[in-house]
């Protein structure tokens, strides 16, 4: 484990209608101010709310997934998020979803390039079009319309994936497991790059403002969070994704040509981060 000091707090929870999960949260570590891992495996009758929200029909569902969110102390080390999930409806339908995305407080294009190269390498093992397709999907998903900003430098995002001639159901499962493996490698790389830099109180203030945007995305725009809040999921597991501290300053504009302004300038869709690698 990257963090030598922190220990995990673990909670196991059950769902009244069937299934349960485990939430493990780290706090005040050497590296992480807050980080968490959610595992869940739930099943039961398909509710009216699920039919409406998920636009699907069926009797019984089974859903399992793992989510990780890491909020480091260091302003030059990024927030990183992973989710992989599997959903099954009766014996008639199923799909996979998931992805990994990165939210640097300060965007370093070369580091973003390295991150995207790592994701492309995993994608390419499974399908030649996955990276290109899922990279665009992440740009669209991790976007904050009311700010006209992406949450960070994106990554990959996919949903409703079923087996095809090119990739079997087992292949999609292996892809999800591979993402879990590569997540630790990708985060360690980013940590090594960012954590060597010196930082000031000003950098910490900016980190907290960027975390404020992370809160805005998760509470206003993230469909997974919205669904969890509306369907009475375990609230502390859903909101473990929020940072320990976040900040909002009215109408803050960074100094022209500052690192902060450069970061704002690249929080856009459709940047070819691979070209920075």
CA distance linking residue 161 with residue 96, whole number of Å: 5
The closest alpha carbon to 252, from 207, 206, 214, 221, belongs to 206
Rule CB under 8 A: which of 175-214 touch its own copies?
A: 208, 212
* Chain position carrying tokens 């484990």: 1
Q: Which two tokens stand for residue 257?
A: 């040509």
The closest alpha carbon to 248, from 219, 216, 221, belongs to 216
268 lines the binding site for its own copies (CB under 8 A) = no
Stretch that binds its own copies, among 73-81, 144-152, 170-178, 269-277 (CB under 8 A): 144-152
The closest alpha carbon to 126, from 156, 85, 87, 89, belongs to 156
CA distance linking residue 271 with residue 277, whole number of Å: 13
112 lines the binding site for its own copies (CB under 8 A) = no
Contact with its own copies (CB under 8 A): which of 236, 269, 270, 272? 236
10 lines the binding site for its own copies (CB under 8 A) = no
Give least dist CB 146 to its own copies, A: 5
CA distance linking residue 154 with residue 273, whole number of Å: 9
246 lines the binding site for its own copies (CB under 8 A) = yes
Give least dist CB 204 to its own copies, A: 12
219 lines the binding site for its own copies (CB under 8 A) = yes
Q: Phi, psi (5° rounding) for residue 154?
A: 70, -145
* Chain position carrying tokens 């509306």: 230
Q: Phi, psi (5° rounding) for residue 195?
A: -75, -10
CA distance linking residue 187 with residue 81, whole number of Å: 10
Catalytic residue set: 81
250 lines the binding site for its own copies (CB under 8 A) = yes
Task: Decide whether 35 or 118 has the Cβ nearer to its own copies.
Answer: 35
245 lines the binding site for its own copies (CB under 8 A) = yes
Task: Decide whether 49 or 235 has the Cβ nearer to its own copies.
Answer: 235
147 lines the binding site for its own copies (CB under 8 A) = yes
Give least dist CB 149 to its own copies, A: 11
Binding interface with its own copies (CB under 8 A): 9, 11, 23, 25, 27, 34, 36, 145-147, 208, 212, 215-216, 219-220, 229, 232, 235-236, 239-240, 242-251
């Amino acid at each position: 484990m990257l963090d030598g000091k922190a220990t995990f707090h673990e909670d196991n929870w059950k769902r009244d209608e069937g299934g349960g999960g485990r939430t493990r949260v780290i706090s005040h570590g050497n590296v992480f101010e807050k980080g968490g891992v959610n595992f869940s495996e739930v099943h039961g009758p398909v509710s009216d709310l699920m039919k409406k929200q998920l636009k699907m029909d069926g009797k019984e569902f089974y859903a399992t997934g793992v989510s990780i969110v890491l909020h480091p102390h260091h302003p030059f080390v990024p927030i990183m998020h992973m989710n992989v999930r599997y959903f099954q409806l009766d014996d008639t339908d199923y799909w996979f979803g998931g992805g990994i995305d990165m939210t640097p407080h300060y965007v370093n294009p070369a580091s973003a390039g390295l991150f995207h190269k790592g994701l492309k390498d995993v994608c390419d093992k499974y399908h030649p079009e996955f990276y290109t397709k899922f990279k665009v999907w992440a740009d669209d998903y991790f976007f904050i319309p009311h700010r006209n900003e992406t949450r960070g430098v994106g990554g990959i995002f996919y949903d409703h994936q079923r087996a095809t001639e090119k990739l079997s159901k087992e292949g999609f499962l292996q892809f999800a497991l591979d993402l879990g493996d590569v997540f630790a490698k990708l985060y360690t790389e980013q940590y090594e790059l960012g954590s060597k830099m010196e930082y000031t109180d000003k950098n910490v203030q900016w980190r907290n403002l960027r975390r404020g945007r992370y809160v805005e995305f998760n509470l206003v725009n993230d469909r997974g969070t919205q669904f969890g809040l509306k369907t009475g999921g375990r609230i502390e597991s859903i909101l473990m994704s929020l940072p320990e501290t976040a900040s909002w300053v009215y109408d803050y504009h960074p100094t022209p040509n500052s690192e902060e302004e450069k970061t704002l300038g690249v929080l856009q869709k459709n940047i070819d981060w691979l070209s920075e690698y």
